[in-house]
């Protein structure tokens, strides 16, 4: 997507002398740059798999009289303590109703495509998976109620969106980044407030939010303008080794916290 004229702290090429003043002073120049154009295939893949699983839920309910996918994959604390640790991840693929999956998949469509274009495929998948894991771990620790839904991972995406805007505010420009951050904060506040209603796992939302924010802050893309004028492009300061290290450490920390809760 196009970004507004860049006016950050990275070195900028001088204007030609004819564009300066009569003393030949150097002025910064504003340029148009674009975020990396990556097809959001992981977002589409997650959408497809999640919808497919929901269809299996409907088929199971209508033909077998029970929702076996939900029974096998929902976050149920007693079953997790019995060793079914996959339930820290599988709830993100399960939903309780058409309205439930509709809202969550709409959120994935909105936030996932843009984030994946900036994060790249693997880093986006790590963000989504860690967000789901973090949300279900916190829910496991603080709520005894069974739960399902991709909202744990979606709150991670929203948190990552806010962190991405903040850490790249020089690229977006002060006014635009402030407006976008305000929208993200408002969205989070509204959804956490709505999550106070009975039957909604707000601990899962909060866990996803924290997990996504931590990963995004330490491993999310941090762009700067590189190249020589007029062939300028955005480059990422984060090295792949840093991304994988952060992901591994966060996953290990979450696993340790979960294990402590199980024991």
Residue 18 located in a structural domain = no
Q: What is the DSSP letter of 220?
A: S
Q: What is the mean pLDDT of the chain?
A: 86
Domain annotation covers residue 183: yes
Count of the separate structural domains present in the chain: 1
Compute the distance between CA of residue 164 and CA of residue 187 in angstroms, rounded to an integer: 16
Looking at residue 27, its pLDDT comes to 53
User: Which of the four pLDDT bands, split at 50, 70 and 90, describes residue 236?
Assistant: confident
Is the pLDDT assigned to residue 89 strictly greater than 70? yes
Choose the catalytic residue: 95, 118, 177, 205.
Answer: 205
Question: How large is the angle between the packed helices 98-107 and 41-59, nearest 10 degrees?
Answer: 180
Per the domain annotation, does 70 fall within a domain? Answer: yes
Q: What are the DSSP calls for the chain, one per residue?
A: -B-PPP-SSS--PPPPGGGS-TT----------B------HHHHHHHHHHHHHHHHHHHIIIIISS-HHHHHHSB-HHHHHTT-GGGGTGGGG--SSHHHHHHHHHHIIIIIHHHHHHH-HHHHHHHHHHHHHHHHHHHHHH--S-B--THHHHHHHHHHHHHHHHHTHHHH-HHHHHHHHHHHHHHHHHHHHHTTSTT--HHHHHHHHHHHHHHHHHHS--EEEEEETTEEEEEES--HHHHHHHHHHHHHHHHHHHHHHH-
What CATH number should be reported for the domain holding residue 209? 1.20.1540.10
What are the φ and ψ backbone dihedral angles of 140, each rounded to 5 degrees? -60, -40
In a domain, 25, yes or no: no
- Residue 238 has φ and ψ, to the nearest 5°, of -75, 125
Q: Is residue 253 part of a domain?
A: yes
**Least confident stretch, 60-69, 174-183, 240-249:** 174-183
Residue 1 counted as domain residue: no
Planar angle of CA 53, 56, 62, nearest 5 degrees: 150
pLDDT for position 6 = 37
6: in domain: no
Q: 175 falls in which pLDDT band (50, 70, 90)?
A: confident
DSSP, collapsed to helix, strand or coil, labels residue 226 as: strand
pLDDT at position 178 over 90: no
Which residue range forms the structural domain that includes residue 164? 41-262
The pLDDT of residue 190 is 84
Note whether 117 and 160 are within 8 A (CB).
no
Known catalytic residue at 151: yes
From 118, 139, 147, 151, the catalytic residue: 151
pLDDT band at 16 (very low <50, low <70, confident <90, very high): very low
Let me know if residue 226 belongs to a domain. Answer: yes
Q: Is the dihedral of CA 251, 257, 262, 263 positive or negative?
A: positive
The predicted structure's pLDDT at residue 233: 73
Confirm whether 27 is a catalytic residue. no
Contact 195, 205 (CB under 8 A): yes
């Amino acid at each position: 997507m196009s970004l507004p004229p860049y006016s950050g702290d990275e070195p900028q090429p001088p204007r030609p002398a004819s564009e300066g003043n009569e003393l030949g002073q150097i002025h910064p120049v504003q340029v148009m740059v674009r975020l990396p154009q990556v097809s959001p295939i992981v977002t589409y893949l997650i959408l497809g798999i999640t919808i497919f699983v929901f269809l299996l839920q409907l088929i199971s309910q209508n033909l077998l009289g029970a929702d076996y996918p939900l029974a096998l994959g929902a976050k149920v604390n007693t079953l997790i303590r019995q060793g079914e640790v996959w339930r820290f991840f599988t709830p993100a693929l399960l939903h309780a109703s058409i309205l439930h999956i509709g809202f969550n998949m709409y959120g994935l469509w909105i936030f996932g495509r843009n984030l994946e274009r900036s994060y790249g495929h693997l880093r986006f998948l790590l963000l989504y998976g860690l967000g789901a894991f973090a949300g279900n771990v916190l829910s496991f620790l603080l709520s005894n109620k069974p739960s399902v839904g991709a909202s744990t991972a979606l709150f991670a995406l929203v948190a990552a969106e806010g962190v991405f805007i903040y850490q790249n505010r020089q690229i977006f420009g002060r006014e635009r980044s402030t407006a976008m951050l305000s929208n993200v904060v408002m969205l989070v506040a509204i959804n956490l407030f709505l999550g106070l209603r009975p039957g909604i796992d707000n601990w899962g939302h909060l866990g996803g939010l924290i997990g996504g924010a931590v990963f995004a802050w330490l491993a999310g893309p941090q762009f700067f303008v590189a190249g020589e004028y007029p062939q300028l492009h955005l480059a990422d300061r984060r090295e792949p080794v840093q991304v994988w290290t952060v992901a591994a450490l966060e996953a290990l920390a979450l696993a340790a916290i979960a294990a402590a809760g199980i024991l």
